[in-house]
Structure 1
Amino acid sequence: MTAPSILFVCLGNICRSPLAEGIYRHLTQGASEKPLIASAGTGGWHVGNPPDRRSINVAAANGVDISRQRARQILLSDFFEFDLVVAMDRSNLARLQSTAPVDATASLHLFAELAFGTSDEVPDPYYGDLADFEAVYSMLSSGCSAMLAKFE
């Protein structure tokens, strides 16, 4: 089975979703067919900025380079360009559901629901410390691995 194209979405596209994009891209590096992988935010405050330095550092410590990513806000075209639009939490999932065109072809999912079959949320580490970013990285790494296994 060919891995689906995935857009990971959080609030500002500087913490969780860039980590998920980087991890998933890293995990699919050896695939013969490279799926389209990206990330975006439901808000536009950080458009054009690199990920939070703590996300960059935690990713780098795990062999994943996200330093060249730049934040962007979700576009209406994303609902047609990607197979899956995956939100980090219920608040962003609700925003995506209210924004998605009625004829959108992408299916919308909560990250933990798709990865683990749970209704857990990926917590926003922005106001936390490095340990919070490390915990989010661990959750996203496990989840991305679980998703990839489902698509193989």
Structure 2
Amino acid sequence: MINILVICTGNTCRSPMAEGIIRKLIADKKLDGISVSSMGLAAYYGDTASTYSVDVMQEIEIDIQSHRSKRVLLKDLNEANYIYVMTQQHKNVIVDACPENECKIKVLDIPDPFGRDIEQYRECRDALIAYFSKELEYIIDEQKKEEQKNG
């Protein structure tokens, strides 16, 4: 099982959108053995995704209305095979707390749309789609290589 973890600050904008996008890509490609979750470094447990996040995702027929925020825990980091963070600052916080997970972290450099207009949320969504459309192919290729290596 491949565990993908997407992290932002509050787990109400970027990471829930990314989770929804990855889930859709997985479903569209009919992939098995991949799980995805999103969490925040400073999330309050149980917050809903922001209104604009929900709205821009509905525009592309991805429903994240049931999303509830979660704060990332050490066990979540340790269990993930791939960790995607939105900023270098997010990576720094994680590496300071648990340097052994540094090799699993990729920085996306996607600005926080929180408190901005809906167009910023669309730009964020579109950047996430572009990134994870390619990244999921990389993950699949890496998994195939690992399976071939292990027989």
TM-score bracket, shorter-length normalisation: 0.7 to 0.9
Counterpart check, 1:58 vs 2:46: no
Which letter does structure 2 place at the counterpart of 1:35?
A: I
1:22-61 map, 5 Å = 22-29=20-27, 30-44=29-43, 46-61=44-59
- Contact kept in structure 2, 1:21 and 1:37, CA below 8 Å: yes
Give the aligned residue type for 2:128.
Answer: L
Aligned to 1:87: 85
CA drift of 1:20 comes to: 0.4
Task: From 104, 110, 132, give the equivalent of 1:122.
Answer: 110
Of 12, 15, 18, which residue of structure 2 is paired with 1:17? 15
Alpha-carbon contact 1:79-1:105 (below 8 Å) kept: no
**CA root-mean-square deviation:** 1.7
Count of aligned pairs between the two proteins = 139
The alpha carbon displacement at 1:36 in A equals 1.2
Write 1 or 2 for the structure with the bigger share of helix.
2
Structure 2 gaps, min length 5: 141-151
Judged with a 3 Å threshold, the aligned counterparts in structure 2 of structure 1 residues 51 and 106 are, in CA distance, closer, same or farther, namely farther
Q: Distance in 1 between matches of 2:21 and 2:81?
A: 18
Deviation at 1:151, TM superposition (A): 2.3
**Residues 95 and 102 in structure 2, CA contact (< 8 A), matched pair in contact too:** no
TM-score, normalized by length of structure 1? Answer: 0.85
* Structure-2 separation of matches of 1:132 and 1:93: 23
Query: 1:136 & 1:71 partners in 2: Cα distance?
Result: 18
Alpha-carbon distance in 2 for matches of 1:92, 1:32: 29
Paired residues of 2:84 and 2:107 also in contact (CA < 8 A): yes
Q: Which has the higher mean CA deviation after the structures are superposed, 83-92 or 26-35?
A: 26-35
> 1:134-145, aligned counterparts within 5 Å?
134-145=122-133
Tell which structure's C-alpha radius of gyration is larger: 2
Q: CA deviation at 1:32?
A: 3.7
Relative to structure 1, the CA distance from residue 106 to residue 134 in structure 2 (aligned partners, 3 Å threshold; closer, same or farther) is same
Gaps of 5+ in 1: 112-120
Q: Distance in 2 between matches of 1:79 and 1:97?
A: 10
Tell whether 2:104 aligns with 1:107. yes
Identity %: 26
1:148 to partner: Cα distance: 1.1
